[in-house]
C-alpha cells in the first residue's frame, strides 16, 4: 500500500467510508516503520508524518462532526437514482459565497481537470461560470464535502481570531 494507491482508490470511489481510507493511510506509516530500521531517516519520517496525519485527521473528523463508524462515504448520500435534487444544488451554490477566494479557485481547478464541460470561461473578463447540472453526482458530492470542510475551517478560524481584533474608525 502507498499514498498514490490510496489517492487513486479515493478518486475511483473504492472506499466505502472515510475511516476505511484512514486505515490504509495508517498501514502506509506502519509498513514504513516495520520495514525500515528504527532510527533510520525513513522510519523517523514515517513516525513524524503519522503523528501529524493523526492530528489533522482527528481535527477534520471533529470539524465536520463526522461519525467514524463507517457511515460517511466519499460519494456522499446520493439517492439511489444518482440524481441531485434542486435544493441540494441551490444550497451548494449559496455555500460557494461563504468560502475564500483561494478555496473557490481550488474548486475551479478541480472542476476544470475532472469535468471541463461544466465550466464556461470568459477570458476577457477573467471570469468563469460553473454549470452544476453538468457535474457528475460523484464530483458534485466531492465538491460539496470540500466546501463543507472549508466552511468548518473558516468557522474555527473566526472563533479563534475574531474576538481579539478591533478596527479603528477614522
Predicted local confidence at residue 8, as pLDDT: 92
How far the first Cα of the chain sits from its last, in Å, is: 59
Q: What percent of the chain has pLDDT over 90?
A: 9
Check whether 16 has a pLDDT greater than 50: yes
Check whether 121 has a pLDDT greater than 90: no
Predicted local confidence at residue 74, as pLDDT: 44
DSSP class of residue 144?
H
DSSP class of residue 134?
G
If you average pLDDT over residues 81-100, what whole number do you get?
83
Q: Which residues does 82 contact at the CB level (< 8 Å), separation at least 6?
A: 137
3 state SS of 40 = coil
CB 114 within 8 A of CB 138: no
DSSP string, 55-83: HHHHHHHHHHT--TTS---TT-S--TT-P
Q: Which three cell numbers stand for residue 102?
A: 483561494
If you average pLDDT over residues 116-142, what whole number do you get?
82
pLDDT tens-digit readout, 33-46: 888 898 899 999 99
If you average pLDDT over residues 62-68, what whole number do you get?
67
Average pLDDT, the chain: 79
Check whether 159 has a pLDDT greater than 70: no
Amino acid at each position: 500500500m502507498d499514498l498514490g494507491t490510496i489517492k487513486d482508490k479515493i478518486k475511483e470511489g473504492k472506499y466505502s467510508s472515510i475511516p476505511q481510507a484512514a486505515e490504509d493511510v495508517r498501514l502506509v506509516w506502519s509498513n514504513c516503520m516495520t520495514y525500515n530500521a528504527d532510527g533510520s531517516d525513513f522510519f523517523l519520517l514515517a513516525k513524524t508524518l503519522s503523528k501529524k496525519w493523526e492530528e489533522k485527521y482527528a481535527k477534520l473528523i471533529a470539524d465536520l462532526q463526522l461519525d467514524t463508524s463507517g457511515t460517511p462515504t466519499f460519494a456522499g448520500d446520493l439517492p439511489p437514482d444518482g440524481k441531485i435534487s434542486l435544493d441540494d444544488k441551490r444550497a451548494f451554490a449559496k455555500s460557494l459565497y461563504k468560502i475564500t477566494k483561494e478555496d473557490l479557485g481550488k474548486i475551479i481547478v478541480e472542476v476544470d481537470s475532472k469535468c471541463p464541460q461544466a465550466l464556461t470561461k470568459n477570458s476577457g473578463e477573467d471570469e468563469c461560470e460553473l454549470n452544476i447540472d453538468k457535474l457528475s453526482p460523484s464530483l458534485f458530492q466531492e465538491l460539496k464535502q470540500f466546501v463543507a470542510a472549508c466552511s468548518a475551517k473558516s468557522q474555527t478560524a473566526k472563533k479563534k481570531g475574531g474576538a481579539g481584533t478591533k478596527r479603528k474608525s477614522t
